[in-house]
Amino acid sequence: MTGKLLHTFAGHTDEVLDVRFSRDGKLIASASADDTVRVWDVALQKQLYQHKGHGSKAVEVNFSPDDKTLAIASADNSVKLKYLKGILPTFAGNSVSFSPDKKTIAIANQKAIVLRRRDGSLIRRFNPQNEDIIKLIFSPTGKYLATIDKDNQIKVWNFQGKLLQSWQGHDVKNNDIPLDAIPNISISPDGKTIATIGRFDKRVKLWNFQGKLIKSWHLNDDWVTSIKFSPDGETLATIGDKTVKIWNYQGNLLRTMTGHKDSISAFNFNSDGRIIATASNDKTVKLWQHDTGKLLQTLTHKDNVYAVSFSEDNQFVITGSKDKTLKFWSLDGNLINTIKGHQKAIKEVEFSRNNNIFTSVDMDNNVVFWNLDIDELQQRGCNWLQDYLKMNVGLDDSQRGVCD
């Protein structure tokens, strides 16, 4: 210890009232009279998070023992908990899928498929040889996993890692462009039909689980990227360029939804199939009525939006963006909350069935598990705030009993 100044973290606009290191020494949290708490990365020497709204002043801050939660004491005599990068672990992976019962999470990290429980603990890992997996999904029956890979292969696996079926997907002749031939895959709600979309041959193909082609039709879009079955299994939706198209199983176009000013990067149905959400490079998410194509709401980010999903109870929408934020919205278009945790653009989000957990994937192929079980989080917070609540002389009896 020499007393030499190593770095100055600048950003607060008023007096800094408290500073704490995380237990592992990698982060610094600072509380200020400017009504913000800021979290800084010691090694990178930059700000990672900023939390506002503490009753005019944030007077004290501390890390939880696992360094994943901040406790913030405010000038309004309240204590608030803020969560850093989710309560649950972060794993490497470029695609993630929940099992139908939401008890198992499958993660593809290009060369491997990993099955984990909801708390992140490992169930099984298997390494398909010479695979470069683009996307994986559970079958709705919960019996199989389906994958698409960079070799233009569609594959079906059991949970022990045995390859059950494999077949060539789409025509890639005369295409030297280094892009995935099959950008997306979906499985019908009854688990009997696989749908794929071809980037180069611009075709929708429907297959059974033995790899037999059932139906195929051509798309007129210049740039096709995604396909999904509706929750009732009656229709298919595709996105290409700036439009969403709804099809029946015979390949008949039922309706087209237009309105985005730039390409659509992702879309999703809500659980009852009445609403479609589209995320776009025009920095917006649009909500559409499925059966009429009517535009219901437009939600705005500060940058391109790459991911969108609905909560299972259809109460809100979550979006992920190039601006590295996850945003929660009500269906009437109001912003509920913003979470900052990823260091790169977010490309995928998915909810568990009971809404307690969701996952997000960023462009660095980091998969983050987020815990939204409020009862569990409150109990964790109360467990390590108990000394503060007992000893702080500035609290009255009602504040001191907040965890009772």
Domain boundaries, the chain: 16-84+378-400, 90-374
Please name the residues in contact with 10: beta carbons below 8 A apart, sequence gap of 6 or more. Answer: none
pLDDT computed for residue 400 by the predictor: 58
pLDDT computed for residue 115 by the predictor: 93
Kindly tell me if the per-residue pLDDT of 266 is higher than 80: yes
Cβ(18)–Cβ(31) below 8 Å: yes
| 367 band by pLDDT with thresholds 50, 70 and 90 | confident
- pLDDT tens digits along 211-248: 999 999 999 877 888 999 999 999 999 998 899 999 99
CA distances in angstroms from 182 to 7, 151, 206, 350, listed in the order given = 48, 9, 13, 21
Token pair 């045995």 is found at 162
Q: What is the chain's mean pLDDT, rounded?
A: 84
Kindly tell me if the per-residue pLDDT of 399 is higher than 90: no
Please name the residues in contact with 226: beta carbons below 8 A apart, sequence gap of 6 or more. Answer: 183, 184, 197, 238, 239, 264, 266, 267
Rounded to whole angstroms, the Cα distance separating 138 from 144 reads 6
Phi-psi region of 142 (alpha: psi -120 to 50; beta: other; left: phi over 0): left
Phi-psi region of 43 (alpha: psi -120 to 50; beta: other; left: phi over 0): alpha
Three-state SS sequence of 102-166:
CCEEEEECCCCEEEEECCCCEEEEECCCCCCEEEEEECCCCCCEEEEECCCEEEEECCCCCEEEE
Cβ(135)–Cβ(95) below 8 Å: yes
pLDDT computed for residue 374 by the predictor: 44
- pLDDT tens digits along 131-175: 688 899 999 988 899 999 888 899 999 999 999 999 998 887 666
Q: Is the dihedral of CA 107, 113, 114, 117 positive or negative?
A: positive
Domain 16-84+378-400 CATH assignment equals 2.40.10.480? yes
Token pair 């390494």 is found at 127
Rounded to whole angstroms, the Cα distance separating 164 from 145 reads 10
- pLDDT tens digits along 21-30: 988 888 899 9
- Across 190-224, b (16+ Cβ under 10 Å) vs e yields ebebbbbbbbbbbbbbbbebebeeeeeeebebeeb
CA 6 to chain centre: 37
The fourth-level CATH superfamily of domain 90-374 is YVTN repeat-like/Quinoprotein amine dehydrogenase (2.130.10.10)
Please choose, from the candidates 98, 126, 186, 149, the residue with its C-alpha nearest in 3D space to the C-alpha of residue 367.
98
pLDDT computed for residue 402 by the predictor: 54
Choice between 77 and 242, residue whose per-residue pLDDT is larger = 242
Percent of the chain with pLDDT over 70: 82
Cβ(276)–Cβ(290) below 8 Å: yes
> Would you say the pTM of this structure is higher than 0.75?
no
Sheet holding 16-21, edge to edge: 16-21, 27-32, 36-41, 46-52
pLDDT computed for residue 389 by the predictor: 60
pLDDT computed for residue 210 by the predictor: 94
Kindly tell me if the per-residue pLDDT of 372 is higher than 70: no
pLDDT computed for residue 85 by the predictor: 52
Cβ(369)–Cβ(348) below 8 Å: no
Whether the domain at 16-84+378-400 and the domain at 90-374 fall into the same CATH topology: no
pLDDT computed for residue 130 by the predictor: 63
Kindly tell me if the per-residue pLDDT of 102 is higher than 70: yes
Kindly tell me if the per-residue pLDDT of 200 is higher than 50: yes
